[in-house]
Amino acid sequence: MRTHKLLVTGALIAAAALTLTGCNSGSPADPSGGGGSGTESVIPKPAENVKIDGSPTFEKIQKRGKVVIGVKEDQPGLGYLDNVTKERSGFDVDIARWIAASLGYGEDKIEYKAIASANREQAIVNGDIDYYVGTYSINDKRKKDIDFAGPYFITGQGLLVKKGGTDYQSLEQLDGKTVCSATGSTPIQNIKDNFPKIKTQEFDLYSACVESLVNGQVDAVTTDQAILIGYAAQDPDNLMVTTGPLLTEEKYGVGLAKGDDALRAHINTLFTDGGATWKKIFDKNLGNSGIKVDQPKVDAY
């Protein structure tokens, strides 16, 4: 039976930051950017003659002749767009490509839409995207509007501070300080609900929070540690992930239209029976990050 373990130590993070400094493509783990030849090595070829009975989303995809996927594009290592090469890379982007391939669609038949944390449920409800893969935690509030396949990854809330700054070990230590996170995210909600003495600053994008931290406008950025590690690796001279324990457990799911059980079952089967592909995608994108996590078991709900 597969279990999930999660272990990130400060030393590993520091090592990862060092390892990744040499990469100047903007993508911490894969200079090839995840498109082109890099993609072909880890993403299986598009499946042929795919049938998913009873999936309104798949029917729409087939009529359109392409897949429309919601992603992040400012999160190195997870969901990233290189503005120079125009290549998308990251663990989430490759998971999204893997799903597209299982539906019969290769890179040339994918349209990506960057959607910020606060706008994900609405984009899915509106049918603007077929599915969303972008550090999207499964939770009950979101499940009222949409469904999730997965989980396909587990991380937890962490803290990013200026290099040489306080190595906070808990959120309580940030009472009176200003912490930045993304609007509509689980970490900002956690602070608002449980840590009223912490001042908050919100932006649509975590990259804006990171900029504020570098400029000294906020004391810390909080979100999933996997995201923070990507930012620290990009700018190790200025940023560090604190070494404290993970503050929450965040299970990443693939967001999709509520009630499309056929598509959800298809993606869950892919995650369950997908052989070595998950591991290859993890190793390619996060293998050098210091994150140690096995593929989680798919939850039936």
What residues line the site for ligand GLU (CB under 6 A)?
Answer: 117, 134-137, 182, 185-187, 223-224, 250
Q: Looking at beta carbons only, is 136 or 203 nearer to ligand GLU?
A: 136
Please choose, from the candidates 59, 11, 12, the residue with its C-alpha nearest in 3D space to the C-alpha of residue 293. 12
Find all residues with CB under 8 Å of 86, minimum gap 6, and list them: none
Nearest to ligand GLU of 30, 121 (CB atom): 121
Between 92 and 130, whose beta carbon lies closer to ligand GLU?
92
Strand ranges in 19-109 using DSSP code E only, listed in sequence order: 67-71, 74-75, 79-81, 88-89
Q: What is the DSSP string of 106-145?
A: -GGGEEEEE--GGGHHHHHHHTS-SEE-SS-B--HHHHTT
Shortest gap between Cβ of 298 and ligand GLU (angstroms)?
A: 18
CB of 77: closest distance to ligand GLU in angstroms?
13
- 112: how many CB neighbours lie within 10 A of its CB? 18
Nearer to ligand GLU, 135 or 277 (CB): 135
Cα 172 vs. chain centroid, distance in angstroms? 26
94 vs 224, beta carbon nearer ligand GLU? 224
Least Å from the CB of residue 170 to ligand GLU? 19
- Shortest distance, position 286 Cβ to ligand GLU, whole Å: 15
CB of 117 vs ligand GLU, minimal distance in Å: 3
Measure the CA–CA gap between 84 and 298, rounded to whole angstroms: 36
Quickly tell me which residue has 């990233």 as its tokens.
80
Amino acid (1-letter code) at residue 43: I
Angle at 153 between CA 150 and CA 158, to 5 degrees: 135
Q: Kindly state the smallest distance separating residue 49's Cβ from ligand GLU, in Å.
A: 35
Using DSSP, state whether 80 is helix, strand or coil: strand
Beta carbon nearer to ligand GLU, 55 or 155: 155
The answer, yes or no, to whether the previous bond of 151 is cis (omega within 30 of 0) is yes
Give the nearer residue to ligand GLU in terms of CB position, either 101 or 154: 154
Q: How far apart are CA 79 and CA 280, in angstroms?
A: 16
Min separation Cβ 109 and ligand GLU, Å: 26
